[in-house]
Chain A
Amino acid sequence: MRRLLFLLPLAIFAALAVWLYAGLGGDPARIPSPLVGRPAPAFAVNGLATGDLEGPALVNIFASWCVPCRAEHPLLAHLAEEEGVVIYGIAYKDKPGNTNAFLAELGNPFRKVGYDEDGRAGVEWGVTGVPETFVLDAEGVVVLKHTGPLTPDAVRRDLLPALGR
């Protein structure tokens, strides 16, 4: 019995190593979301709640303090203005003042913006980092999750097909 106790560290480490190996294969920017295939999660923050979401649409998690969000912003603006895509924004762990300044500076591509100051909505959406973009279909079911800043390539290859275009 006591010998088993000394084996415990090795056993824990072995389990850990297997997990780490399993994590290696995937591209970290494509963390599969348990949300895919399910309806949008229930959340309600200042400015936006689950009931406001009308698919097909994008839900973009962003923050004024996040540099990649700034980088993807022109692409969101393009999608909203030129392609007529409906986009909802959730400002993750951001002060409303900062969010508004960010949107005033770069333009507001969002139909509605939710102010998720303490990151509660981020929990419901399973956010691992900003920016992240979810695609909702016409029934409001999450069909795709994109982690990291959007690129023209990802929009053409993944997002637009997922929106049914």
Chain B
Amino acid sequence: MDLQSETIEKIDKLVPRYPTMKSAALPLCHLVQEDQGYLSKEAMEWIADRLDLQPINIMELVTFYPMLRTEPTGRHHIRVCRTLPCALAGAYQTCKKLEEAFNCKVGHTSADGEVTLEYVECHADCGKAPVVMVGEDEYTNITPESAEEFATKLKNGAL
């Protein structure tokens, strides 16, 4: 496993703070995923080994928590909230516009590897619906009318 020294440092600082090693499993999944982009079989085995656990103890978390991934995403990871308040504000139409703009079906990664487009559940910002996340950043009021402009800005690195 080739982790950045900063990640190792964070992990070494974090593990002893918890009363049990196993409690650090989910935080370590986050840190390793942030470092590697996803959690490979090798990564899960590494985390298990670091915490004196069995690989299954990590794999059962990865298959339970939706944010943990076993495959890399495209360069931009776009998450469109589709839960009721966002849907009432047009989230499904917003997503259709994004599908067209990036030539990528929702639930997939575009052929050029530029974007992964996903539906996600409520992100707790329903007052500014529809909500779209790109990587770790949140964008609000991405209506069907403004979705195209949003996509153009993202493509041009102007977000």
Whether A associates with B in a native complex is: no
A interface, CB within 8 angstroms of B: none
| Residues on B facing A (Cβ under 8 Å) | none
